[in-house]
Structure 1
Amino acid sequence: MNYTEVRDEWKSSPAVFWAIAARHVNWMEKWDNVLAERPGRRFAWFDGAITNASYNCLDRHVESGRGEQVAIAFESPVTGAVAQTMTFAILTDQVARFAGVLQRNGVGFGDVVVIYMPVIPQAIIAMLACARIGATHCVVFGGFAAKELATRIMDTLPKAIVTASNGFEGSRRIDYKETVDEAIQLSMWTGPAIVYRREGASITLVPGDVEWDRAMRESHPVSPVPVPSSHPLYILHTSGTTGEPKGIVRDTGGYMTALLWSMNNIYRCPPGDVFWAAADIGWVLGHSFIAYGPLLNGCTTVLYEGKPVGTPDSASFWRVIEQHRVNVLFAAPTALRAIRKEDPAGLLLYEPILGSRIWHHDIKSLRTVFVAGERCDTSTMNWAENLLGVPVLDNWWQTEAGWPIAASTAEDRAVSERCRGSAGRAMPGWDVRCVDDQGNEVQNGITGNIVCALPLPPGAMTTIWNAHARYESSYFQRFPGWYDTGDAGYIDVNGFLHVMGRTDDVINVAGHRFSTGAIEEIVARLAPVAECAVVGMSDPLKGQVPVVFVVLKDRSDVAPLEVETQVVQTVREQLGAVIALRLAFVVGRLPKTRSGKILRRSLLYIVDGKPAPIPATIEDPAVISEIERLMQQRWIKGESLFDETHYPD
């Protein structure tokens, strides 16, 4: 896409721009107003229109002749099962039948259904079945323990729960049904739990349980129910690693419009192509670009129940791309770093012999790789581009946004159209600015709080479930007239947005503000470094000083102490002595969520000698103890200037 032209079209008339974009949606009735703004920062897009997300994802493609095209391609290397595919015709029938199962179990228009499932086709079937009958689904990440699941059950009071016998985290089996049973007891919820029994699994059904396969045999297909454009399609709680989780509410019509625009203009993945978002169905990426975006656009979506490494090795991604002829890959930077750590030369993809490449996997179908979820350092981006021979493009968004706020698009391949290290430029609908703590806009190149002008565009959140006052105070109170993203960064002179991290990731060293993301960018370029994390430790003289944690590449032969010295010297050389960096530590691994995000908040507690919180999303709690022991051995403990150190909520 020509960025300037498209951006100008949106700016000149946002209503006309989105009305044209909405033509890609099938509407049963057209809107009265493209946008209706209501008190409480409520933005109703395509107000008065009637539609159905399930019909738009499925039936219309069957009717247009795509019934035999593969809709879902499923890979589960941990089970050893062969790849499975499901056509649009079969998926439509399965969704229509499961919609009937939901109705027979008391689910109707406006009811909530909690879905707690692994990354399997049945999760998408359950989601689209809810949309088909006007129910609102609330997918809960399968890595959450019973307490977190119970919290979400109590928040949404679902009419039914849908789950599976088990899933896998790496090669480790997770019993979903047992977790659901415990959560039901904790929440004292009553109602039907519909359970999908996976092949070879054994489960114990209790009173109130409904066995998926049996219910499907007894069910009849249900037609799509007309719903208003503003109807809540789903509730998706923020990760809950800090404070009470917020149930972000997404509408139907605006969301479909934004996703269809994204698929065609950002990701350039037209109908018939294969799109693979290597993510969990329980996160916003899984909602937007596993379940809805590709299917809305008539693309094949790939489901992968595995890891980038260890299931079975670091060539897993290349095998999936080859097997399903993937055109666009969407992955977290952590996934690429994990592959690079185990196979830095890419020898599992190809071997250089006598000046030629001998390929082990045919990935010629791949056109573009997109990364998001966290900042992608230029070192990792360069490595992936050199290895794969395709553009690796960044984009930035949030659960609240639902689709990219800023992006480098698949058409931005010329050097003049990209800026490595940035998240790209603001997409139509998003008027992005950077302001100081008083709300005054800062100059280009100056780090500030990233905010977006109102109204929020189609696809963005509409409220917080059962907590609209919290919605207003969390996102619109600090900077009146703006949406507060909670992120810090800057916009350069060419309009590229550089997201440096959450506002709590900006450390203050003796009155000088430094982005931990900027420090991480420098450290990540060092040859022995696989990944790193920087946090601000309390200091009685300077307020805060940075501490760097580094994980080395597997085949690195550089001594840890040498790397620690190199990190300190390099950062001080590039940012100056004022950065006051003296502490860098080589560790075996970093604490992460199951979705791959580094738990910097836990590291922040550890360096200050405080008991580190163990969030429900953590991949392996043992890593916290490992780093705590290291800090104790090295006599590291921050001292605050204040009675109470501030930790991000």
Structure 2
Amino acid sequence: MQNLYEIAVSRASDADERINYWREQSEFVDWIEKPKEILTKINDYFYQWFRDGKLNFCYNALDKHLVQRGNQVALYWESNMVHNSLQYTFNELHDHVSRLSGVYRQFGVSKGDRVIIYMPMIPEAVFAMLACSRIGAIHSVVFGGFSALELSGRIKDCKPTLIITASCGLEVNKIVDYKVMLDEAIQLANHTPICLIVQRPTKQCSMVIGRDFDYYTAMKFANPVECVEVESTHPLYILYTSGTTGQPKGIQRDTGGTVVALLWTMRHILGLKAGDVYFSMADIGWVTGHSFTVYGPLLQGCSIVLYEGKPVQTPDPGAIWRIIEKHKVVGFYTAPTALRAMRKEDPNGDWIRKSNISSLKSISMAGERCDIPTYNWIQSNTGVLINDHYWQTETGWIISCNFMDLHTFPSKPGSATKPSPGFVIKIMDNENKELETGQMGRICVRLPMPPSFMQTLYNNDEAFIQKYLADTPGYYTAGDAGYFDQDGYLHIMTRIDDIINTAGHRLSTAAMEEVLLKHKDIVEAAVVAKLDDLRGEIPVGLIVIKQGHDVQASILEKELVTMIRHDIGPLACFQSAIIVEKLPKTRSGKVLRGTLKAIVNGLQYKMPATIEDDSVLDKIKLNCLNYGKGMGQYCNLDFGNKDIYVEE
């Protein structure tokens, strides 16, 4: 007898039945005009879900709950940075959001205009997102830790009418001056939008007359506005993710399909019911922050917890568990990096047991594959369902996971359990042939993708096709490598491009190499990932000095760290630059990054058949070994036999 998961997979994936399945799921949405066209094929690459439907996203997340849940808390804010807590009922949240929409209108923002949100984790950030969707403006949230250069690229690409930011963000023992970075970014982008500034008590900032306006002053005189009707295909937001070229890619997501998919996720994957409290630590600058921290739970009538702080050091590893106890949290979401940080400071789970977390039913994580020791630690110390999710900015929701509502599978640490209904995953080789069970290959998802999949890259349909769809006709190429085991569990192993995953942040090695090559003394550079117990991966630079240039290694390394911090951001965690005589290359000039990664991680490898000069590898080993023994603090290399081989 089929369980509910098997039935859902069968219906959502079947060419004839999927229309009926997603039509049924769309009934949970409050439409202004219900869609009659459920799935429309535009051509071999583009599909649209519910395209003739009309609705408003903010209405579904907020206004529809006012009658029954107006006095229920919609948003809890907990800040361990300023030692403050606030809460907003659905009625109060509605008031803030509708008035902020009025402020947007006063500054000329209308349906289809772009608004960049460059904010720390404060309530005004949530107001800003919802206020955009209320009037049909398209928001683009930029992570507050990004540098001026990264921010300027996003300003250049989407040309916002307005940017909303705060005077500062707060880190452990550090104040991040957002306004300084914003001013530099606007200058670099050569585009001057209106800037709305939330002045935080911790640090005030100066204002540019005629361009900058105080948030709270504007809100005092704002008139609330009602929800604007938009088409189901109207873009809800643009979310940028770094590409292998270093150029930002603007993932564009629709409105109707996103509402349908997130409501499905809340019910069947997270098992949330209206009135439950959900706590996601994901920053609003990431797709998980959009879907889990803000939008998804509100759509379901749940209360959200917004947290400004760290899993540790603010003030201790018990901070998260005290919040869970305080608000009787049902579901908790974080990244494996955060769990590793807590495990490092609380190896026996003593801080967990100091709080009553009996309300908690599940802990979910994504952003990177959770290592098995951390998985086992959190499982043994909480006893709840541990759900290691696999998803991407491009998909908007979870590709593979476990399920609280449909069917809960036995846990298998290291795997992403089973594909979500609608995601038909095949493991392909480089010739687009499907591989057998247990064989690792490229992860490809059959078209059409389920609702909420990206519409395109903003203003760049051709790049969307070439990046994701052209290599494997009829499939979306996820860019990851993995395999299915004999139980049908999906295992995600690595990226197939050159993206480094540092603490859940996908960073382009090509972008970092470009920064290193700006230094006057460097002629060549390669950046590869070194495995790190805390952050998953950290970037290590291997650099070749220009002939005749005399450099002091320690000074050069400090200069390069500063350059990466400025151009990419401190979240890159770049701290190690190793000087080498030359980089290993194929005869055609391709740098052998896979081999370099093996050397940096102390792994054995097969000598690449196409290498131009095999003697260079032993020299690089020696360079790395000397670095690890000498000035390097973070590159403690081990060249023991680990029975792992890399072949280019």
Letter in 1 for 2:8: V
Question: Superposed, which structure 2 residues align to 1:134-283 within 5 Å?
Answer: 134-207=136-209, 208-239=211-242, 243-283=246-286
1:335 and 2:338 are equivalent in the alignment: yes
Sort the Cα spacing of 1:411 and 1:464 in 2 relative to 1 into closer, same or farther, 3 A: same
Sort the Cα spacing of 1:619 and 1:146 in 2 relative to 1 into closer, same or farther, 3 A: closer
1:426 and 2:415 are equivalent in the alignment: no
Contact 1:57 1:296 in 2 (8 A): yes
Give the CA deviation at 1:395. Answer: 1.1
The SS at the match of 1:56 is: helix
Contact 1:239 1:617 in 2 (8 A): no
Contact 1:267 1:410 in 2 (8 A): yes
In 2, Cα distance between equivalents of 1:330 and 1:617: 26
Aligned to 1:447: 440
State, as a whole percentage, how many aligned pairs show the same letter.
42
1:200-254 Cα shifts (integer Å, max 9, x gaps): 4322111211111111111111000000000000000004685101000000000
Structure 2 residue corresponding to 1:479, chosen from 472, 487, 491: 472
Letter in 1 for 2:413: R
Aligned to 2:96: 94
In 2, Cα distance between equivalents of 1:241 and 1:165: 32
Letter in 1 for 2:117: I
Give the CA deviation at 1:417. Answer: 3.8
In 1, Cα distance between equivalents of 2:60 and 2:344: 41
Contact 1:448 1:489 in 2 (8 A): yes
Structure 1 residue corresponding to 2:401, chosen from 401, 407, 417: 407
Aligned to 1:21: 25
Sort the Cα spacing of 1:619 and 1:240 in 2 relative to 1 into closer, same or farther, 3 A: farther
Aligned to 2:383: 389
1:330-376 Cα shifts (integer Å, max 9, x gaps): 110111111111110122233xxxxxxxxx21111111101111001
Contact 2:151 2:182 in 1 (8 A): yes
Letter in 1 for 2:193: G
Structure 1 residue corresponding to 2:537, chosen from 587, 598, 602: 598
Question: Superposed, which structure 2 residues align to 1:412-561 within 5 Å?
Answer: 417-504=410-497, 549=531, 551=533
Contact 2:275 2:303 in 1 (8 A): yes
Question: Superposed, which structure 2 residues align to 1:12-51 within 5 Å?
Answer: 12=14, 13-39=17-43, 41-51=45-55
Contact 1:196 1:213 in 2 (8 A): yes
In 2, Cα distance between equivalents of 1:176 and 1:604: 28
User: Could you state the TM-score of these two structures normalised by the residue count of structure 2?
Assistant: 0.80
Contact 2:98 2:225 in 1 (8 A): yes
1:95-114 Cα shifts (integer Å, max 9, x gaps): 00000000000001111111
Contact 1:241 1:617 in 2 (8 A): no
In 1, Cα distance between equivalents of 2:315 and 2:449: 43
1:612-633 Cα shifts (integer Å, max 9, x gaps): 9937555467x644x43xx67x
Sort the Cα spacing of 1:308 and 1:619 in 2 relative to 1 into closer, same or farther, 3 A: farther
Number of residue equivalences: 551
Give the CA deviation at 1:11. Answer: 3.0
In 1, Cα distance between equivalents of 2:244 and 2:530: 22
Letter in 1 for 2:81: V
Aligned to 2:634: none
Letter in 2 for 1:21: Q
In 2, Cα distance between equivalents of 1:347 and 1:160: 47
In 2, Cα distance between equivalents of 1:192 and 1:40: 40
In 2, Cα distance between equivalents of 1:494 and 1:16: 29
1:511-544 Cα shifts (integer Å, max 9, x gaps): xxxxx99xxxxxxxxxxxxxxxxx9xxxxxxxxx
Sort the Cα spacing of 1:16 and 1:617 in 2 relative to 1 into closer, same or farther, 3 A: farther
Gaps of 5+ in 1: 351-359, 507-515, 518-534, 536-545, 552-589
Contact 1:430 1:457 in 2 (8 A): yes
Contact 1:163 1:193 in 2 (8 A): yes
Structure 1 residue corresponding to 2:60, chosen from 34, 52, 56: 56
In 1, Cα distance between equivalents of 2:87 and 2:582: 53
In 2, Cα distance between equivalents of 1:647 and 1:470: 25
In 1, Cα distance between equivalents of 2:66 and 2:326: 24
Sort the Cα spacing of 1:47 and 1:386 in 2 relative to 1 into closer, same or farther, 3 A: same
Gaps of 5+ in 2: 502-508, 510-527, 546-552, 595-648
Give the CA deviation at 1:191. Answer: 2.8
Aligned to 2:564: 614
1:645 and 2:591 are equivalent in the alignment: yes
Aligned to 1:346: 349
Letter in 1 for 2:274: P
Aligned to 1:132: 134
Contact 2:147 2:569 in 1 (8 A): no
In 1, Cα distance between equivalents of 2:445 and 2:292: 23
Give the CA deviation at 1:192. Answer: 1.3
Question: Superposed, which structure 2 residues align to 1:104-143 within 5 Å?
Answer: 104-143=106-145
1:361 and 2:355 are equivalent in the alignment: yes
In 1, Cα distance between equivalents of 2:425 and 2:306: 33
Question: Superposed, which structure 2 residues align to 1:555-634 within 5 Å?
Answer: 598-599=537-538, 602-603=539-540, 605=542, 614=564, 618-619=569-570, 624-625=574-575, 627-628=576-577
Aligned to 1:324: 327
Letter in 1 for 2:162: A
